[in-house]
Amino acid sequence: MLDELKRVAAEVDRVLEHDDFPAAIVPQFLREAVVDYPRRGGKRLRPALTVWSCGALGGGESRALYPAVACEVFHNWTLVHDDIIDDDDFRRGAPTSHKQLQSVAGREMRLTDDAQIRFGRDFAILCGDLQQAWANSLLLKAPGVRAEVLLAIAARMQSFANRELVSGEALDVAMSYIDIDRLRPDDVERMFEKKTGVLFQFCVETGAMIALDSTTNDHPQIIPLAEMAMNAAVAFQMRDDYLGIFGAHGKFGKPIGSDIAERKVTMLLLYALESLGEGGKKELLSFFGRPDCTAEDMEKVRTIYRESGALEKAAARAAERTAAARAALEKLPESPYRRSLGELLDYLLEREV
């Protein structure tokens, strides 16, 4: 699968390198910011979902390429705005967009520290806005796709990919402001569906609609793909939260326990709170939002998650959604593309990193 993924990534890179949308953006530092995240690479999971779904339903891969790149750039604009909102410092091993722009101000202009921060934030807002348009633009110029099909996909990029995903992001942000007593594990699962599942689903539906020359996603061959994508995305996010607490130090992409330090609301946490008594709740929440948690504290948190049954419950939900993703995939006809999709599921759902 990794070789296949690399092949898609190379095609994506080629389109990103040659597309003429960014060239006319001014000022230059903003143009550079717009191409920055998309060109940083990453795994290109979303374009692979689009291209392979098109192939799995008998479509020529190349017809799905521009829409696949559109999905990747779409993902990137949401990251740029997310990173402002979360005030994150790093993304894929380099400074986040607003931090990068902030350092442009520091280098090229004589600004106070506050003005540099503001400069970075303001231009990162505009950067994401431009990337959203770039994503739409890439989709709309897909060669060899019937105009009515393209219109239908473009409309879904607004009313599904954007509206549902941004609503999911909003739910995620809102969670950090809401009293934790008012949240249930199910709220996190619904948020995962919108924030991550929707774009995965949009990717496969886009490839499938192109393959079948269909103006609707409501089609017996498309529905299993959509189910696979949605379930895989949610299981993937659940695994992310699991690895954030139980993963191996230095192996998983972020520091183990940072979710606790950063007050991230997870299903593990909410399952634990549901079953703990007042004393247990108080102990667990005492670690929550504390940046100075020791390895010993983290071990205590893991013990609470194990003993309260939270780990088991969360693992059961993840297993259900993983099984649903795999079962949906089995409904597709056998093909090399189905095999690649299956290997992608293995990677997403069994990863340790």
Interacting residues with its own copies (CB under 8 A): 21, 24-27, 30, 81, 84-85, 105, 109, 111, 115, 119, 122-123, 125-126, 128-130, 132-134, 136-137, 140-141, 147-148, 150-151, 154-155, 157-159, 162-164, 166-167, 169-171, 173-174, 177-178
Q: Token pair for residue 284?
A: 């667990």
Q: Which is nearer to its own copies, 195 or 313 (CB)?
A: 195
Q: Which is nearer to its own copies, 167 or 221 (CB)?
A: 167
Query: Cα 112 to chain center, whole Å?
Result: 34
Q: Which is nearer to its own copies, 50 or 136 (CB)?
A: 136
d(CA 299, CA 105): 43
Q: Which is nearer to its own copies, 136 or 237 (CB)?
A: 136
Q: Which is nearer to its own copies, 160 or 347 (CB)?
A: 160
Provide the 10 A C-beta neighbour count for residue 97. 29
d(CA 127, CA 147): 29
d(CA 161, CA 158): 6
The runs of H, that is alpha helices, within 41-96 are 45-56, 65-86
- Residue 188 CB, shortest distance to its own copies, in Å, is 14
Q: Which is nearer to its own copies, 1 or 166 (CB)?
A: 166
Q: Is 44 left (phi over 0), alpha (psi -120 to 50) or beta?
A: left
d(CA 185, CA 269): 8
| CB-based contact 49:207 (threshold 8 Å) | yes
- Residue 157 CB, shortest distance to its own copies, in Å, is 8
| DSSP symbol at 290 | -
Long-range pairs of 171-174 with CB within 8 A, sequence gap ≥ 24 = 171/195, 173/85
Q: Which is nearer to its own copies, 47 or 128 (CB)?
A: 128
Q: Which is nearer to its own copies, 162 or 322 (CB)?
A: 162
- Residue 143 CB, shortest distance to its own copies, in Å, is 12
- Residue 288 CB, shortest distance to its own copies, in Å, is 17
> Hey, which residues does 90 pair with through a beta bridge?
95
HEC-encoded secondary structure of 314-336: HHHHHHHHHHHHHHHHHCCCCCH
d(CA 254, CA 238): 15
